[in-house]
Amino acid sequence: GAVVSQHPSWVICKSGTSVKIECRSLDFQATTMFWYRQFPKQSLMLMATSNEGSKATYEQGVEKDKFLINHASLTLSTLTVTSAHPEDSSFYICSAVNGRGRGAYEQYFGPGTRLTVT
């Protein structure tokens, strides 16, 4: 099946610094990628939709200047949390849509990245 990876799997950073999370589709080209955030004991919340070569579309209430998304190629999207604060500590999960061929339109999820801001 289609594989989506994330790097790093966990990261600890100091308050005020920025941290970048990578999402890669390993065996297919992803025309669209999504970023979700999940707080403890809560469901996944969609943050933004990322289309290759264009600006990301953010969900209501998500600060686009704080959560920078870049989808520079069909296999890579990055989420940068700028000026991180403890309240940004969360589990960040990406997903990728296979744009063509068998499995087209199916959404595959990465393993997640746990961010802790101290």
- Contacts of residue 61, Cβ cutoff 8 Å, sequence gap at least 6: none
Stretch that binds other proteins, among 13-21, 36-44, 60-68, 77-85 (CB under 8 A): 36-44
Kindly provide the b/e burial profile for residues 8-43, where b requires at least 16 CB atoms within 10 angstroms of the residue's own CB.
Answer: eeebebeeeeebebbbbbeebebbbbbbbbeeeeee
Q: Which amino acid is at 70?
A: N
Does residue 45 bind other proteins (CB under 8 A)?
Answer: yes
How many residues lie near other proteins (CB under 8 A)?
Answer: 21
Joined tokens for residue 93 = 């999960």
Q: Which amino acid is at 42?
A: Q
- Is 6 or 75 the residue whose CB approaches other proteins more closely? 6
Does residue 108 bind other proteins (CB under 8 A)?
Answer: yes
Does residue 114 bind other proteins (CB under 8 A)?
Answer: yes
- Is 20 or 109 the residue whose CB approaches other proteins more closely? 109
Stretch that binds other proteins, among 40-48, 63-71, 72-80, 81-89 (CB under 8 A): 40-48
In this structure, are strands 90-98 and 76-81 parallel, antiparallel, or unpaired? unpaired
Residues of this chain that interact with other proteins (CB under 8 A) are 4, 6, 34, 36, 43-46, 49, 91, 93, 95, 105-112, 114
